[in-house]
Chain A
Amino acid sequence: EDKVVQSPLSLVVHEGDTVTLNCSYEVTNFRSLLWYKQEKKAPTFLFMLTSSGIEKKSGRLSSILDKKELFSILNITATQTGDSAIYLCAVYSDMRFGAGTRLTVKP
């Protein structure tokens, strides 16, 4: 059965810290991996990754995919309280989501 596992499930840090969120997957017919940020309601799209080893970057956020080891990481540097959210990883073979990582950034 296809599965997407995110870790940790919950994380509390202080402003300025750097965090790394993990997403591992076992799916048939992998096509792409997506990261979303969900603050209160609608998840918003962050990154889509299809190729191994190519870092995607947007401001303080970056992500990379390893298709050999079947995982992706999402890095957030110099965290701010506005980064507090649930971060969702989704793998497109049949759009399967992980359980999410709840990040809390304290001032």
Chain B
Amino acid sequence: DGGITQSPKYLFRKEGQNVTLSCEQNLNHDAMYWYRQDPGQGLRLIYYSQIVNDFQKGDIAEGYSVSREKKESFPLTVTSAQKNPTAFYLCASSLDRAPSQPQHFGDGTRLSIL
């Protein structure tokens, strides 16, 4: 069954800790994205990647880092520099980054501060 898998579903972070959110897709998509969703603010783009070993900052990249070593995987690290990390994080992918390609989303990871 093709799709996007995000894990874990829920994650708690302690002060000063880095945490990594996993995103895996088996859709053979080239482009992958990370969004943050806060109540009343819609989705905001953190990072995106159009191809393996390449990624670009979105609107709110500060305090986050990503890697794209494999086509299927695009993990997001929330670093201790991100002072307000509590949010719902969504990973998405699309065939490529052309405007004719809709994005497919994972079920999200909800991150909270302990």
User: B-contacting residues of A (Cβ < 8 Å)?
Assistant: 4, 6, 9, 31-32, 34, 36, 41-45, 48, 50, 88, 90, 92, 94-100
Q: List 14 A-B contacts (CB under 8 A).
A: A32-B99, A34-B102, A42-B90, A42-B107, A45-B104, A88-B43, A95-B33, A95-B45, A96-B45, A97-B35, A97-B43, A97-B44, A99-B40, A99-B41
Q: CB < 8 Å: which of B45, B48, B108 contacts A42? A: B108
Which B residues contact A (CB, under 8 angstroms)? 4, 33, 35, 40-45, 48, 90, 99-100, 102-108
| Interface of chain A, main secondary structure | strand
Q: Which residue of B lies closest to A6 (CB)?
A: B42
Closest 6 CB pairs of A and B: A31-B99, A41-B107, A42-B105, A97-B43, A97-B42, A99-B42
- CB atoms of B42 and A43 under 8 A apart: no
The chain B residue sitting closest to A86, CB to CB, is: B42
Write the chain B residue with the least CB distance to A45.
B102
Across-interface contacts of B108 in A (CB, < 8 A):
41-42
Give the nearest-CB partner of B108 in chain A: A41
Cβ–Cβ contact B90 & A43, under 8 A: yes
Quick one: which of A4, A31, A44, A96 contacts B105, CB cutoff 8 A? A44
A50 vs B98: C-alpha distance in the bound complex, in angstroms? Answer: 12
The answer to whether A43 touches B105, judged by C-beta atoms less than 8 angstroms apart, is yes
Q: Which residues of A contact B106 (CB under 8 A)?
A: 42
